[in-house]
Chains A and B, each alone.
Chain A
Amino acid sequence: MIYADVLIVGGGPSGLTAAKMCCEAGLSTIIVERSHILGGQLTKQTHKFFGSKDQYAKMRGIDIAVKLQEDLASFNTLTMMLETTVVGLYEDKVVTILQHNEYKKIKAKAIILATGASEKFLAFENNDLPQIVGAGALQTLVNLYQVIPGKSMVMIGSGNIGLIVSYQMLQAGIEVKKVIEATDRIGGYKVHASKLKRLGVDIQTRKTIKRAIGKDQLEAVEIVRIDENFQEIEGTSEIIETDLLCVSVGLSPLHQLASMMNCKTTYISELGGYVPLIDDHFQCSVPGVFACGDMVGIEEASSAMMEGYLAGLYTCNYLNQPHLEAESLISHYENQLYELRNGLFGRKTLRGIEKRKENLIHA
């Protein structure tokens, strides 16, 4: 058995920032990360971020990932376990990990869950053919490993991720044949859409994929126009030859570990799916278990970092070993989070957070 004050599951922006607070407060901390690198989604984001100075605006995601790791370099109470997956959790805060094909146990006084999100999928004929990939996966292959998996691509979904990834595929030399969107308007920021349009990419709304065509791998897609009830309009079918189809229809929180520990979860569409119910201090319904980042509601890296700092600070309070500057830091990061959610895109999140709170009260 390995012992620690705090165990953090997930080494993305929220997990890394939470770790910083716990380490600064002198708590022995372990980060368990499934991948062989730290940084979560940031490790593949070559674009510059929005937000304010505290959230590293104007820095590229890949550079923020490096910065967050540098922030942790000096702590000798921190243990990083890479290529290690949390596979079981129990209410007494004993955690089973799988590390290089070996099962081990960790017992912690508090646990912070920061597992992020996974990509949603779409139902259509032949949707399991090779070369149909998630947006994050494509971004990882191209930006992180510098591998080009195809010559041309069709993108489903015009949210920010769909638009940004389309642009990044163009930068890597992949032809973007079309971006399609089922609703009647482009979902992401106008700046991202305009950049694509300037490069001649066709973005079409009210379109969806009917089926993928191919024997052993994707060869073409059939797309159709749809009406306001999302029903196919006859006679609008179009076949586009392509060797890659990218699905970017949103993310859903990886809530499973919370459920495994009997933390209450609820489906909240505004937050992306099932999320653990947390109180104002990021604590789940099981005392001493905290959750933050995309796992408690799909937002952005900027808010994931603010939530990570806060979850870390509240965890220190819970363990009666508060951070020396707890009070001022908490009010600072709470303010930052408030401001981030004040914009147009924040409204939906705020509605979701409200529901999350109500559900916790009733639980």
Chain B
Amino acid sequence: MTNRIVEHPILEVKPKKKIRFVFEEKEVEGVEGDTIASALVALGVVTMGHSLKKHRPRGFYCAIGNCASCDMTVNGIKNVRTCITPLEEKMIVKREFVEDIQDDIR
């Protein structure tokens, strides 16, 4: 997990419990306290979905559940705002309108 802060002048950085979940059929890991989106960003995922018509890639944008950029299908439920949904063990997360996303898990 390279995209996480390890040292910070103000924030307390504590070791956190790992949470395993499935993203695009791969088993991956986030940590306790993550939202689905924060765990994905930490894994290096930058494409959260695609626009409906032109299929342009969509990234993380507002983080407060306001823009719908991060909507994904979670445990079979469509259009879940992943930036405000806490990550849970064994969640099954899929992007929507995936045409030809190149896998971007680093």
Bound state CA distance, A137 and B63, in angstroms?
A: 5
CB distance from A302 to the nearest CB of B (A): 20
List A contacts of B65 (CB < 8 A). 34-35, 85
> Judging by beta carbons under 8 Å apart, are A141 and B64 in contact?
no
> Judging by beta carbons under 8 Å apart, are A36 and B35 in contact?
yes
Q: Does A148 contact B (CB under 8 A)?
A: yes
Known A-B contacts A36-B84, A146-B11, A217-B47; the reply to A136 vs B38 at CB < 8 A is: no
Q: Does B21 contact A (CB under 8 A)?
A: no
Bound state CA distance, A137 and B67, in angstroms?
A: 11
Q: Does A292 contact B (CB under 8 A)?
A: no
Q: Does B8 contact A (CB under 8 A)?
A: yes
Bound state CA distance, A231 and B67, in angstroms?
A: 30
Nearest B residue to A46, CB-CB: B10
The listed residue (A129, A133, A172) touching B57 by CB distance below 8 A is A129
> Judging by beta carbons under 8 Å apart, are B4 and A216 in contact?
no
Query: Interface 1/0s, chain A 126-169, versus B by CB < 8 A?
Result: 00111111101100111111111100000000000000000000
> Judging by beta carbons under 8 Å apart, are A171 and B9 in contact?
yes
List A contacts of B84 (CB < 8 A). 34-36, 83
List A contacts of B72 (CB < 8 A). none
List B contacts of A171 (CB < 8 A). 8-10
Number of interface residues of A (CB under 8 A): 35
Bound state CA distance, A147 and B61, in angstroms?
A: 14
List A contacts of B63 (CB < 8 A). 134, 136-137, 140-141
Query: Total contacts A to B, CB within 8 angstroms?
Result: 103
Give the interface size bracket for B toward A: 35 or more
The listed residue (B3, B42, B47, B61) touching A133 by CB distance below 8 A is B61
List B contacts of A147 (CB < 8 A). 3-5, 38, 41-42
Q: Does A76 contact B (CB under 8 A)?
A: no
> Judging by beta carbons under 8 Å apart, are A130 and B48 in contact?
yes
The listed residue (B38, B57, B85) touching A141 by CB distance below 8 A is B38
CB distance from B67 to the nearest CB of A (A): 8
Q: Does A320 contact B (CB under 8 A)?
A: no
Known A-B contacts A83-B84, A217-B57; the reply to A145 vs B46 at CB < 8 A is: no
Q: Does A346 contact B (CB under 8 A)?
A: no
Query: Interface 1/0s, chain B 65-106, versus A by CB < 8 A?
Result: 111000000000100000111100000000000000010100
Q: Does A232 contact B (CB under 8 A)?
A: no
Bound state CA distance, A216 and B48, in angstroms?
A: 11
Q: Does A5 contact B (CB under 8 A)?
A: no
> Judging by beta carbons under 8 Å apart, are A132 and B59 in contact?
yes
> Judging by beta carbons under 8 Å apart, are B11 and A46 in contact?
yes
Bound state CA distance, A83 and B83, in angstroms?
A: 11
Known A-B contacts A118-B62, A134-B62; the reply to A128 vs B51 at CB < 8 A is: yes
The listed residue (A140, A143, A145, A149) touching B64 by CB distance below 8 A is A140
Bound state CA distance, A144 and B38, in angstroms?
A: 10
Q: Does A173 contact B (CB under 8 A)?
A: yes
> Judging by beta carbons under 8 Å apart, are B59 and A130 in contact?
yes
The listed residue (B42, B56, B64) touching A35 by CB distance below 8 A is B64
- Which residues in B have some Cβ–Cβ distance to A below 8 Å? 3-5, 8-11, 13, 33-35, 38, 41-42, 46-48, 51, 56-67, 77, 83-86, 102, 104
The 9 closest A-B pairs by CB, nearest first: A130-B59, A137-B63, A145-B38, A140-B63, A146-B5, A147-B42, A130-B46, A217-B46, A35-B84
Q: List 10 A-B contacts (CB under 8 A).
A: A35-B84, A60-B10, A129-B59, A131-B46, A133-B59, A136-B62, A143-B11, A147-B4, A147-B38, A148-B3
Known: A34-B64, A133-B59, A217-B59; 20 extra A-B contacts, CB below 8 A, are A36-B85, A83-B86, A118-B62, A118-B66, A118-B67, A130-B47, A130-B48, A130-B57, A130-B59, A131-B59, A136-B63, A145-B34, A146-B4, A146-B5, A146-B8, A146-B11, A147-B38, A171-B10, A172-B5, A254-B66
